[in-house]
Amino acid sequence: MPFGNTHNQLKLNYSSDQEFPDLSKHNNHMAKILTPEMYASLRDKETPSGFTVDDVIQTGVDNPGHPFIMTVGCVAGDEETYEVFKELLDPVIEDRHGGYKPSDKHKTDINPENLQGGDDLDPNYVLSSRVRTGRSVRGFCLPPHCSRGERRAIEDLSIQSLDSLDGDLKGTYYALKNMTDDEQQQLIDDHFLFDKPVSPLLLASGMARDWPDGRGIWHNDNKTFLVWVNEEDHLRVISMQKGGNMKEVFNRFCTGLTKIESLFKDRGHEFMWNEHLGYVLTCPSNLGTGLRAGVHVKIPNVSKHEQFGEVLKRLRLQKRGTGGVDTAAVGGVFDISNADRLGFSEVELVQMVVDGVRLLVDMEKRLEAGQAIDDLMPEQK
Amino acid sequence: MASFTRMIAGRNPAVLLASLGAGTVAAGFLLSDSSALSAEGKKSLYPPRYQQHHLLIIADFPDLRKHNNCMAAALTPAIYAKLRDRVTPQNWTLDQSIQTGVDNPGHPFIKTVGCVAGDEESYEVFAELFDPIIKDRHNGYDPRTMTHPTDLDASKITNGVFDEKYVLSSRVRTGRSIRGLSLPPACSRSERREVERVVVTALAGLKGELTGRYYSLGDMTEQEQQQLIDEHFLFDKPVSPLLTSAFMARDWPDARGIWHNNEKNFLIWVNEEDHTRVISMEKGGNMKRVFERFCSGLKQVEQLIHERGWEFMWNERLGYILTCPSNLGTGLRAGVHVRLPNLSKDTRFSKILDNLRLQKRGTGGVDTAATGDTFDISNNDRLGKSEVELVQMLVDGVNYLIDCEKRLEKGQDIKVPSPVAQFKK
């Protein structure tokens, strides 16, 4: 139960079998992994802030999933969730993140100097470039579980820190509940505005409580660096611009993140991070780097090639429509981004995108000229 | 202060306090609400720990400035401060009760209730909030001083058969909660399954014209589902944010189902918005018979659960206890689908309905528009009058509306009736 830990003691009066959810029609990571024995062992535990196993899995119980898409089906309510419920979450993480083991260590690298190239993607094909990640503020509960007071405190901290940014990063905060109609329209036109979640995956976890209290959007004057406050995570940080200069996008991303982190530290706060899970975020799918680096790229020929899926798989990339997750491609333009989040550093993931997209553009040019691409087929990364 | 300790564990009070800035809503309440602490003025009167506690509570007070619902009208920082750390015996809290009202600011013209009970005790433990809401919603009914009459003797109804030239169908519904089990916003899966077991076992004991069967939502076949849709019996997972924000749709469709008798005129919904919703309905205008079956069915179900040691939630202040405060008392909505082509175009129609204490809805139910000239007309009130009184008011009112319709058909004039009396104070 979001923010309340209602009932957990009372539930223990019933047997574990009586409480165990019916997962017979379910297809998500949680449902694959949770057994009655595991549930029995976890049901009397709670994190220091009172998050319980039923809180973790509620979204997965309420959303059986899709026959073709495997959703995660669980969320964290605070940093300790990943410890207290590791019996469930370690296998979920392993399943979701390509075999990542409980003993594995995650590498963090946000030094943009380590990226090779990336400033040379052909803008005739690569229409825009974008990198996003999330950050959680240590000591506070996460969006499924936080109180209004905590959410407002995160918003205040964010505003104070972001207001200190200068130069290319100087910008303004727009609180969702105070926005004028004009501001709102501008943010919609810029494709910056986020709305109250409608996805039942998010609603069932309690993330939309008290909307729009404590939520807002910050962006720099140049509209190339954007921070979402208290949407699906405490902070979502986005660097983006038109064209194919991913190096510049990643530079700004790393510079901005590093500055924000130090501004939070000045105020006595750090981000949730550890050497096993990297950056800790609400959804287990975003652990590690929480990073999705992607481009909108025009590849009408490559995308129709019978080997397209195989190419993406070997490059460790995924495709989406240009509306983002769960949308279709329009006019041969695809959103191509890294498939991984955990077990690779930020630099490694962006490198994969840069190298992979360069290859896709080369293939596109070959196919345009009526030539074959067999010799360009990559090895599995 | 054991609850204080429990509350601050893991919630970083120092961080919250340090970050309460001048621009926050919290500080706004601190400085402007005369009934709350004014930080500067009262700093010296309270020891630091108590002041810290109060500031924490204010940091959590919801922003209700854009809200128009009964909860937002009644909840003050002082009431919130008093009730926030209380829990019912099942650990249900104030924040959980009001979440739906915080998440759904309401409509400028429709005043929603904005809070729900998680269990029977909610109405007591959070009485400082629920009592004014009940007064607001139920025409001044005061649970501290008044008692609610229960009367399910259908034989008392007079003139309860309508002219079928006008009345197409008649229906009575209510809800019942099983004492000892938490309500839909709060219940665990076990409790919900227990409600289903208790109710379905009892219903299996019904005989005669009430013999029927249960269709579990999760187990029904495609054909059964289609049949129930065609009969307008099937209920679906709630999509209204008023309900989903109140945590009622968790674990759907586990332990939800529909029971109906073979005659298809007595129907029970299990674990939708309440533990049970009980519906008696038929085509045509025989409201008396619909109400007779309603009362007889309810009494039999109650008897069957008594035999197994269970009872319905009821007390003499609030009558039957249901999830939403708007359904306390009788929880009863008695209504008809009635054709009123002339009257509905008369400018006095709304006033007539008001004075008869009736409401109109479209034929799809609440929040739908009327199709053609057919309206769903039902009683406004739920608490403070008995079932018999409310059904008689509906009967008298509908007969009056039909009389108006007939007069207008003949070119005669109609009169707006005097307002029906409120309950005795």
Average the pLDDT over A357-365 and give the result.
Answer: 97
Min CA distance, A85 vs chain B (Å)? 17
Q: Which of A195, A164, A119, A122 is nearest to A350 (CA)?
A: A119
| Positions at the binding site of B for ATP | 169-173, 232, 277, 333-337, 361-366
Tens-place pLDDT, residues A114-132: 999 999 899 999 999 999 9
DSSP A187: H
Roughly how many angstroms between the first and final C-alpha of chain B, as a whole number?
A: 41
- B243 interfacial to chain A (CB closer than 8 Å): no
Judged by CB atoms closer than 8 Å, whether chains meet at A18 and B189 is answered as: yes
Least confident of A9-23, B88-102, B355-369: B355-369
Closest alpha carbon within chain A to B180 = A10
The CA-atom distances, in angstroms, between A179 and each of A173, B22, B25 are 10, 19, 16
DSSP A63: -
**In sequence order, which residues have a C-beta less than 8 Å from that of residue B421 and are 6 or more positions away?**
none
- B219 interfacial to chain A (CB closer than 8 Å): no
Given a cut of 60, whether residue B2 has pLDDT beyond it is no
Given a cut of 80, whether residue A59 has pLDDT beyond it is yes
Residue B286 is which amino acid?
N
Tens-place pLDDT, residues A128-177: 999 999 999 999 999 999 999 999 999 999 999 999 999 999 999 999 98
Which of A8, A10, A11, A234 should we substitute to test contact with B (largest number of B Cβ atoms within 10 Å)? A10
Closest alpha carbon within chain B to A198 = B241
Q: Which residues of B touch A19 (CB under 8 A)?
A: 188-190
Q: Which residues of B touch A179 (CB under 8 A)?
A: none
Judged by CB atoms closer than 8 Å, whether chains meet at B254 and A156 is answered as: no
Judged by CB atoms closer than 8 Å, whether chains meet at A209 and B99 is answered as: yes
Given a cut of 90, whether residue B109 has pLDDT beyond it is no
Query: How far is B129 from B136, CA to CA, in rounded Å?
Result: 11
Q: Which residues of B touch A22 (CB under 8 A)?
A: 218, 251, 254
**In sequence order, which residues have a C-beta less than 8 Å from that of residue A351 and are 6 or more positions away?**
A115, A116, A118
Query: How far is A49 from A81, CA to CA, in rounded Å?
Result: 10
Closest alpha carbon within chain A to B194 = A18
Tens-place pLDDT, residues A212-223: 999 999 999 999
Least confident of B97-106, B222-231, B406-415: B222-231
**Average of per-residue pLDDT values in chain B:** 87
Q: Where are the beta strands (DSSP E) in chain A?
A: 126-135, 171-175, 216-220, 225-229, 235-242, 273-274, 278-279, 292-298, 317-320, 333-338
Of A2, A62, A269, the CB nearest to B251: A62
Tens-place pLDDT, residues B59-73: 899 999 999 999 999
Average the pLDDT over A180-186 and give the result.
Answer: 90
* B97 contacts B247 by C-beta, under 8 angstroms: no
Judged by CB atoms closer than 8 Å, whether chains meet at B19 and A156 is answered as: yes
Which of A152, A162, A176 should we substitute to test contact with B (largest number of B Cβ atoms within 10 Å)? A152
Judged by CB atoms closer than 8 Å, whether chains meet at A148 and B250 is answered as: no
* A202 contacts A63 by C-beta, under 8 angstroms: no
Q: Which of B345, B221, B330 is nearest to B278 (CA)?
A: B330
Of B90, B188, B254, the CB nearest to A14: B188
- B188 interfacial to chain A (CB closer than 8 Å): yes
Using 50, 70 and 90 to split pLDDT, how confident is the model at B16? low
Given a cut of 50, whether residue B33 has pLDDT beyond it is no
* A106 contacts A275 by C-beta, under 8 angstroms: yes
- B11 interfacial to chain A (CB closer than 8 Å): yes
DSSP-derived secondary structure for A245-262: -HHHHHHHHHHHHHHHHH
Judged by CB atoms closer than 8 Å, whether chains meet at B59 and A152 is answered as: yes
Residue with tokens 């009526």: A370
Average the pLDDT over A256-267 and give the result.
Answer: 96
- B90 interfacial to chain A (CB closer than 8 Å): yes
Judged by CB atoms closer than 8 Å, whether chains meet at B249 and A11 is answered as: no
Distance of CA A335 to the CA centre of its chain: 15
